[in-house]
Amino acid sequence: MISIKNPKQIEKMRKAGALLYEVLEKLKAAVKPGITTVALDSYAEELIRRNHATPSFLGYQGFPASICASIDETVVHGIPSDKVVLKEGQILSVDCGLILDGWQSDSAFTVGVGEICDEKQRLIEVTERCFFEGVRHAVKGGRVGDIGHAVQSLAESHGYGVIRDLTGHGIGRNMHEDPNVPNFGEKGRGVRLRSGMTIAVEPMISMGDWRIEILDDGWSCVTQDKSPSSHYEHTILIQEGLPELLSYPDFSWEEYFKKTGESQ
């Protein structure tokens, strides 16, 4: 069932999103060679709890941490570990979610650890562009397929693979609500987008093939061909006009279009 949020509920999701943004900005700044992924996880949990929120990933279907920390060919769901020390040249995806006052937010970024090669830099940038391409098509009256189509078209035009097995999702009181929001699809197909829907859009893009497998830890999701992959996610609100990025309060469409040189 798809839930439509009222203005009061949206305001709560806005607060959850703003807090998550703050947490992820701090985590991003902490990523450097030599740090363990468990140190990042502890930092995230501390920041979340200090602000009277709850880490939503911790214990979710048995997941043992507050963030997913996924390096290079690990697409998503990497488990933080004190044995995993970040190394120069890797790319790290951090995915994190929290619950504030009963409402969820979910967001992810990918960054380089120290200096990274141009190919990985381009993968990160294109993945972010895929997100914004998808999200600008997430408009009232449109369809979920419009988002996936936009993400897939851009990713594949760069020769990248779009992960099929995992998708974005509705979000609200629960982290995963209807509808699924795939990163591939056809324009004009799928669930109709309505004002007041809140969804997490999250392209997962591989430098090579899109096929994935789950490692023996039961969580880490890696590309079968071991090609590096990138993940970018925000929780957004469907409304009149372009969507609001609830987990990216600093974002403005006006600046975005100025920067990209495109028009709405």
Comparing CB distances to Mg ion, the nearer of 75 and 242 is 75
Q: In angstroms, rounded to a whole number, what is the distance separating the alpha carbons of residues 168 and 62?
A: 20
Comparing CB distances to Mg ion, the nearer of 66 and 90 is 66
Catalogue the E-assigned strands of the chain: 54-55, 67-71, 74-76, 91-100, 103-112, 161-162, 168-170, 177-181, 198-201, 204-206, 212-214, 221-223, 229-231, 234-237, 244-245
Comparing CB distances to Mg ion, the nearer of 113 and 200 is 200
Comparing CB distances to Mg ion, the nearer of 41 and 95 is 95
Q: In angstroms, rounded to a whole number, what is the distance separating the alpha carbons of residues 255 and 249?
A: 13
Binding mask 86-125 for Mg ion (x = CB under 5 A): ---------x----------x-x-----------------
Rule CB under 5 A: say whether 48 interacts with Mg ion.
no
Q: How far is the CB of 14 from Mg ion (least distance, A)?
A: 17
Q: How far is the CB of 105 from Mg ion (least distance, A)?
A: 9
Report CA 174 to chain centroid distance, whole Å. 16
Burial class (CB in 10 A: 0-12, 13-18, 19+), 257: middle
Taking CB under 5 A as the criterion, which residues in 129-188 touch Mg ion? none
Which residue in the set 13, 19, 197, 200 belongs to the binding site for Mg ion (CB under 5 A)? 200
What residues make contact with Mg ion under the rule CB under 5 A?
A: 95, 106, 108, 200, 233
